[in-house]
Structure 1
Amino acid sequence: MVGVVYSLLILPNWAQAEQLPLSFSISDSLSMPLVGLDNGVANEGVLYELETRLAKQVNRKALLVTLPRPRIYRLLRRGKIDVHCYASKGWMKAYDAQYAWSVPIMVQRDFLIARASQTTVKAPPIGALVGTVNGYVYTSLTHRFASGQLIRDDARTQEQVINKLKAQRYDYAVTNEMSFNWYKKTKHSEQQLQKLQMIQQSEISCMVRKGPDIPTQEILSAIKTMVTNGDVEGIIAQYR
């Protein structure tokens, strides 16, 4: 046993670091096609594919940790997460000191949606309930929510938001375009939902922790390569 411990101690730093997994945070509010969860464990979806491939690119194992969004934010503030791959600078400005930003991996478009039967609807009236995801930042609606012009009705996941809209729990909801299209395709809801207007567009990137124990620049370079050689677009295309 002593000999084994001694052997580990004399390994160069890079060899020891190779064995450490990269921790990736995944919000439990996300749903397909961004991520599929089985009993809280990610096993499919765009982020699952992206993060497991990224870890292989830098010769690490991927440790995918599913947590509530507010807890992810707390851990990011403490520098306890290595990589967070579903972020926009517009949402996450407070973390720039501890994390480096990758090139954008996709563009997310968020839409105000309604049921297709609401044929005369164009925009929610003052005081209307709007289905939203708990903890998610809608920058273009922040003032209207804060002033009471619109009222957030939070659900845990994006899919739950859309389900509540279909069940007429409210007349308006916000969803990203990718989730909206996936829901219509998999739930055969092509004629039941409609987009009213795009409310915001965000470049989505990965945040990579800065620290001597993590190959920050190597990870950033790997992400850039995956974007430029079409790997990321190929992953996304599987789920359109």
Structure 2
Amino acid sequence: MRTLLALLLLWTAQCLADQPVLRFSVAESWSMPLVRIEGDQPVEGLLYDLMQAAAQAAGARAEYHVMARLRLEEAMNGGDIDVRCYVSTQWLIDRPKDFIWSIPLIHQRDLLVARAGEAGPGLPEQLPPQAIGTVLGYTYATLQPLLAQNRVHREDSRNQLLALQKLQAGRYRYAVSNQLSLQWFNRQAPAGQQLQALAVLDDQDLGCMVRNDPDIPAQAFLRALVRMKASGEIERLVERYGG
């Protein structure tokens, strides 16, 4: 029995070693429901489940590299990662030439958020001068003209959860949050302390980018994402995490 178990473990280890590796980037600024990071590795969340499932369907082993959001494009251009997910064409300064876009996977809305009972402006440009809670490394196109004119200024947090916690604590009157993170935050918040969305600032379709390299299963990964989208698996993941 012990011999059989040892052979099975050896066979499993060999199979894993034979699998190609896909190196995924994970932004430090992600928080639940997108991902939860422990010991510099993702352990759960919407994006973690999505990347794990797609890699497995492509016959690859997922390897995760946690890094600052501002380093993501540098890592792509330097060949340090193979896949970047949860990304929009609007967010890139220069499109990396060696990467292929997936189909759109998740539709995201960026919202202007306030505490319960807080009155809000009808339009973002009607905001009075003040600090706005934001996430380090993120670009907010709708707010950019106001930031450039110094009509409002950013108060950056390391991730979206911290930005919302500061808002709840009264550090500022308004913050920007993606819709999924706001819904997750409110699901965990005590009654009477839930945050409210005042306006939609931006919305975009997000997908993945994979390195166009014959040494990795790039096309198999892209096909896996198409199957996951067509079967409704991605929508079920979004719903599971509060979407």
* TM-score higher than 0.5: yes
Match of 1:43 in 2: 43
- Provide closer, same or farther for how the CA distance between residues 234 and 66 of structure 1 changes in structure 2, counting only shifts above 3 A: same
Report whether the alignment pairs 1:236 with 2:238. Answer: yes
8 Å Cα contact 2:35-2:48 kept in structure 1: yes
After TM superposition, the score normalised by the length of structure 1 is 0.87
* d(CA) in 1 for partners of 2:77, 2:96: 10
**TM-score, scaled relative to structure 2:** 0.86
**CA displacement, residues 110-130 of structure 1 (integer Å, 9 cap, x when unaligned):** 100111132365556342110
CA shift in 2, pair 1:70/1:112, >3 Å: same
Query: In structure 2, what is the equivalent of residue 185 of structure 1?
Result: 187
2: CA distance, partners of 1:190 / 1:229 = 38
Aligned-partner residue type, residue 159 of structure 2: T
Structure 1 unmatched runs, 5+: 1-14
Q: Which runs of 4+ in 1 moved over 4 A?
A: 120-124
Aligned to 2:209: 207
Q: Cα RMSD (Å) of the superposition?
A: 1.9
Give the gaps of 5 or more residues in structure 2: 1-14
- Give the aligned partner of residue 116 of structure 1: 116
Identity of aligned residues (%): 36
CA shift digits 1:204-235 (9 cap, x unpaired): 10011112212222211111111111111121
Q: Classify the secondary structure of the residue corresponding to 2:155.
A: strand
Task: Give me the whole-angstrom Cα distance separating, in 2, the residues matched to 1:132 and 1:203.
Answer: 20
Report the CA distance between 1:165 and its aligned residue: 0.6
- 1:173 corresponds to: 175
CA contact (8 A) 2:35 2:42 kept: yes
Cα deviation code 1:126-182 (max 9, x no counterpart) = 421100000012122222222212201100010000011111111110000000000
1:189–1:42 CA distance, 2 compared to 1 (3 A): farther
* Structure 2 CA distance for aligned equivalents of residues 164 and 144 of structure 1: 21
- CA 1:144–1:37: 2 relative to 1, 3 Å: same
